[in-house]
A and B are shown apart, each in its own frame.
Chain A
Amino acid sequence: MTVTASFLQDPDFINAAYIVAFGLFIYGLMNLTGPRTAVRGNAIAAVGMAIAVVATLLDSRIDGNWELIAIGIAVGTAIGVPSAVNVKMTAMPQMVALFNGVGGGAVALIAWAEFRETGGFEGVALYIVIFSLFSAIVGSISFWGSNIAFGKLQELIPGRPISAPGQQAINGALLLGAVGLAVAIAAGETSEALMIGLLVCAALLGTFVVLPIGGADMPVVISLLNAFTGLAAAAAGISLDNTALIVGGMLVGASGSILTKLMADAMNRSIPNIVAGGFGGGTAATGAAADLEGKSVRSTSAADAAIQLSYASQVVIVPGYGMAVAQAQHAVRDLAKQLEDRGIEVKYAIHPVAGRMPGHMNVLLAEADVPYDQLREMDDINPEFPRTDVSLVIGANDVTNPAANSNPDSPIYGMPILHVNESGSVIVIKRSMNPGFAGIENELYYDERTQMLFGDAKSAVGEITEEVKGL
């Protein structure tokens, strides 16, 4: 292809376009921190990205392989669009993990290609080599870590913590291995086996770090990996001397770190704690379960639940992952409507990590047209429970477990919970007595004020609604 030097291919023009894109990224992110402006913020950032991509394609250094570029973009679009458009709201969290992973994978692959193109970084400035290898390690960690997170959330891999004895030592050895190989390459070794070894060490490290992490900690881990991918992209930007990558990557690296901390704070967990071991051993879990021996649960019927709800003056609905899985949000809205028509005050208690992601429940309930002002955040609703007649827990488990407040041996001790056990009575809709995602027993179910309604959330709520109508 002949390259006609034109105004559009002037590096200054391309850099100016990048600057416009940065402005849009930053403005978009600012808008994304407020509920009213968030949709617009995302669109603004997307426009920034479109400008950056088009400007890059004008770059005169791109002088061939157009058909390969077209194939890559076409295949990526053909995979990305349908998966984003068709993914169920319940599967949203793992989708984010997957999209994050491929970003990290792209960074690692670029570094690998650079290594091959330059014959093992022969004659390349040392700092470029260092940043490139850094991006390879972090990108590979992020790719595999995100894939494991996806597998866990999609339940392809058990969600429970999985770890081998001496895990920390193995992880340490893998990190040392990756860094050691990087040092050898930077020192002038040109064998490709070293580069592949480096990518594999980082891949195993990413896998082993995420495997032991279970339950409610997963969103924080995905956010952390997101920040990692950002840093890897920024490092790749320095090695490629591309300002757009540096700014875009670093924006994500920095804002992603803050966001990770905000999320961890919302759950009262510390990031080192999460990464070091997740919801640790089965020992603590069985210890907690032992106390419950000899206690029994009471089960109830839809008709009975309907009566209790109909004669309450305030009902708080506590949705969780069970509601998401059963797609019960519309049924829940119908029930709430019936109750409201009887003059009952209905509120929704939204735990920050109910479901599998912060905001998961809000998304689902908004889809069912539940008014935004009925959704109460944890700190708002907790003082209301003593005044609440009936709490209806729909497929939420760990976020209601009083052990988090009362049992220092419990693996979730210290996590803020919804104080449903303070309300007059509690009805729990649940498929079975299986423990929740964190793999621990819930003392709430054994409370004398609690009644269990076993069944699929959608059909159980539907039955209650029918009974309420009949009263």
Chain B
Amino acid sequence: MLVTNLAILVLAGFVGFAVISKVPNTLHTPLMSATNAIHGIVVLGALLVLGAMHGGFVTKLILVVAVTFGTINVVGGFLVTDRMLGMFKSKPEPPKQVEEGGEG
């Protein structure tokens, strides 16, 4: 199990390096913000531990805070990135069809 996970870790690292090669300065901040939202994936860890535990009040409280933090990270992160990227949206077209940004 450890070896498999380490292999996944190393491969994911190489993918991460490869994906970000040349980025214009303008996109540094939005990209940082988007990767910031992706590490909100920790919310999954908090959900799994909280859902499977039967411990005391304090531990539950710690985990509820962890779920809250993780959710803030994910939801806030993607929304803030979307607002930052507003600058790259094409200029207001004739409002023929209203597009809603599908947010996760």
Residues of A within 8 A of B (CB): 22, 25-26, 28-30, 32-36, 38-39, 41-43, 45-50, 52-53, 56-57, 59, 61-66, 68-69, 71-73, 75-77, 79-81, 83-85, 87, 89, 92-93, 95-96, 98-100, 102-103, 105-107, 109-110, 112-114, 116-117, 127, 219, 222-223, 226, 229-230, 232-234, 236-238, 240-259, 262-263, 266, 350, 352, 357-360, 362-363, 365-367, 369, 372, 377
With A63-B51, A72-B71 in contact, do A110 and B63 touch (Cβ < 8 Å)?
A: yes
Select one of A32, A49, A75, A95 contacting B80, CB under 8 A.
Answer: A95
User: Nearest chain-A residue to B55 (Cβ)?
Assistant: A117
Q: Complex: how many Å from CA A16 to CA B96?
A: 38
> Does B97 sit at the interface, judged by CB under 8 A?
no
Residue of B nearest to A48 (CB): B104
Point out the residues of chain A lying under 8 angstroms from B53, CB to CB.
Answer: 65, 113, 117
Residues of A within 8 A of B62 (CB): 109, 112-113, 116
Instruction: Tell me which of B1, B21, B40, B91 has the highest count of chain A C-beta atoms within 10 A of its own C-beta.
Output: B40
Within 8 A of A (CB), among B49-86: 49-56, 58-60, 62-86
| A-B Cβ contacts below 8 A, count | 394
Besides A68-B64, A107-B42, A242-B48, 16 new A-B residue pairs in contact (Cβ under 8 A), listed by A number: A29-B19, A36-B88, A38-B30, A69-B50, A72-B64, A80-B79, A95-B76, A106-B73, A223-B28, A238-B6, A245-B42, A262-B23, A357-B28, A358-B25, A359-B30, A367-B86
Interface contact B68-A76, CB-CB below 8 Å:
yes
- Closest chain-A Cβ to B40's Cβ sits at a distance in Å of 6
Task: Report how many residues on chain B are interfacial, defined by Cβ distance under 8 Å.
Answer: 86
Q: Which of A42, A116, A372 contacts B82 (CB 8 A)?
A: A42
Whole-angstrom CA separation of A113 from B50 in the bound complex: 9
Q: Is the CB of B13 within 8 A of A92?
A: no
Contacts of A241 in B (CB 8 A): 1, 5
Residues B2 and A127 in contact, CB atoms below 8 Å apart: yes
